Amino acid sequence: MLLSKSCVYGLRASLFLATRDNGEYVPIRKMSDKLEISFHFLTKILQQLTAEGIMESFKGPNGGIRLNRNGAEVPLMDIVLAIDGSQLLTECALGLPGCGTKNPCPLHDKWAETRDGIREMLEETTLTELAEKGMEENLRLTTDGGFDILFNDHEDEPK
Amino acid sequence: MLLSKSCVYGLRASLFLATRDNGEYVPIRKMSDKLEISFHFLTKILQQLTAEGIMESFKGPNGGIRLNRNGAEVPLMDIVLAIDGSQLLTECALGLPGCGTKNPCPLHDKWAETRDGIREMLEETTLTELAEKGMEENLRLTTDGGFDILFNDHEDEPK
DNA sequence: ATATTTTAAGACAAAAGAGTCTCAATAACC
DNA sequence: GGTTATTGAGACTCTTTTGTCTTAAAATAT
Ligand code: SF4
Ligand code: SF4
């Protein structure tokens, strides 16, 4: 797999948060419910992201998590680096240690090119970009739920 | 990681075999020694590849493994598909099931493009191509050994 | 035939990744 | 102050991947 499960969950939650443009904190429980991710697992992942300064947390009622963008847009790369580290972008396709152009493996040229494609994609795509697109076209963020599920808050209430 | 450890080992061994253009069988023990891979682990991996018809095996003295190329060149993709399956090329970047253009996730367009880059690389690169390049330039196939180590057979013998 | 060299098959163990649970800390509300 | 809603931290379990070991089967050579 390209990205670890943790990383994918981190990205999904980040996209959720990117739909809230104000400073509103979203409780992890709400995100885990909407995104169908284990609450405790998501908590650990978001703790990593707040530790990295990508998000901010606040305890107690009306608390939760929000993006800590200081006006700047967040590229997907930030999330990936925070959770999966830089392996994907630095490691050898053949698993050899201390990769580099000095002592390359036979795959190096081709792999370096492919890897740059991945890097560019992650660097040039931002959370808000995807979140806006997702809201406009009601794209999928879960097995069968589009972005709209992030907003209709009381679908489980009794009528 | 892009490719599993098994897959990477399979590729390394495949490159080894691609340096033997005749029908010579190479014992797994020799490959595992030269490539610094656990013998038993490599055995299991090569069993998968022979089961898929990518390689041929022969038991007993002078036995071993050889590529089963019927004149055709083997793209890296064949090895990857045999060991890791098609996940990498078919699965969603956001881990959503039943991916497709009908009900896409917000990353789809960008990811599909990146994924095509990976696919092309694996499809258009062949074992013999890499093996020839590796031999010409003595590129790295192990932590600190180039392709030359695949040929000097008696380096461990007493003098 | 017997011993040797090799792959085949599968049980087993160790390590890493994914997921669950419990308890503590902090903040708000009454 | 006490209760409730929330994150924080860490132990713990389950699953998958990775790696090891043992035994069997096939081919060869003597
Ligand atoms: S030369 Fe390139 S492909 Fe080879 S090990 Fe180094 S980084 Fe990887
Ligand atoms: S639409 Fe594309 S990126 Fe999204 S889940 Fe499907 S294949 Fe993956």
Q: Which of A111, A115, A118 to mutate to test the pocket of ligand 1 (most atoms within 8 A of CB)?
A: A111
**Token code pair at residue B137:** 């330039």
Contact between chains at B108 and A2 (C-beta distance less than 8 A): no
* pLDDT tens digits, A135-152: 999 999 988 878 887 777
Burial class (CB in 10 A: 0-12, 13-18, 19+), A50: middle
Chain A contact set for B131 (CB, 8 A):
106
A3 lines ligand 1 (CB under 6 A): no
Instruction: Answer positive or negative: Cα dihedral of B154, B57, B42, B71.
Output: positive
* pLDDT tens digits, A93-136: 898 887 776 788 999 999 999 999 999 999 999 999 999 999 99
- Whether B25 sits with its Cβ under 7 A from any strand D atom: the answer reads no
Phi, psi at B26, each rounded to 5° = -110, 125
Q: Which of B89, B90, B99 to mutate to test the pocket of ligand 2 (most atoms within 8 A of CB)?
A: B99
B54: amino acid identity, one letter? I
pLDDT band, residue A157 (cuts 50/70/90): very low
Number of Cβ within 10 Å of residue A71's Cβ equals: 4
Work out the angle at residue A23's Cα, subtended by the Cα atoms of residues B105 and A21, and round it to the nearest 5 degrees: 35
What CATH number labels B5-149? 1.10.10.10
Q: What is the pTM of this model?
A: 0.92
Chain B contact set for A142 (CB, 8 A):
96
Closest C-alpha among A77, A87, A65, A59 to residue A119: A77
Helix (H) or strand (E) holding B81: helix B76-84
Torsion of CA A110, A111, A113, A119, to 10 degrees: 170
Domain boundaries, chain B: 5-149
Q: Which residues numbered 55-114 in chain A sit less than 7 A from strand D, measured from CB?
A: 57-65
* pLDDT tens digits, A4-63: 999 999 999 999 999 997 789 999 999 999 999 999 999 999 999 999 999 999 999 999
Work out the angle at residue B153's Cα, subtended by the Cα atoms of residues A97 and B52, and round it to the nearest 5 degrees: 65
Chain B contact set for A97 (CB, 8 A):
143
Report in angstroms the alpha-carbon separations of B122 from A4, A24, A50, B4, B125.
21, 45, 37, 15, 6
Contact between chains at B103 and A140 (C-beta distance less than 8 A): yes
Residue-wise pLDDT tens for chain B (159 aa)?
Answer: 799 999 999 999 999 999 997 789 999 999 999 999 999 999 999 999 999 999 999 999 999 999 997 767 899 999 999 999 999 999 888 988 877 777 889 999 999 999 999 999 999 999 999 999 999 999 999 888 778 877 776 544 432
Which residue owns the Cα nearest ligand 2 atom 4?
B105
Closest C-alpha among B47, B18, B13 to residue B30: B13
Q: What is B98-144 written as a DSSP string?
A: S--SSS--TTHHHHHHHHHHHHHHHHH-BHHHHHHHHHHHT-BSSSS
A127 lines ligand 1 (CB under 6 A): no
- Whether B44 sits with its Cβ under 7 A from any strand D atom: the answer reads yes
Q: What is the pLDDT, as a whole number, of residue B136?
A: 92
Strands A64-67 and A55-58, sheet pairing: antiparallel
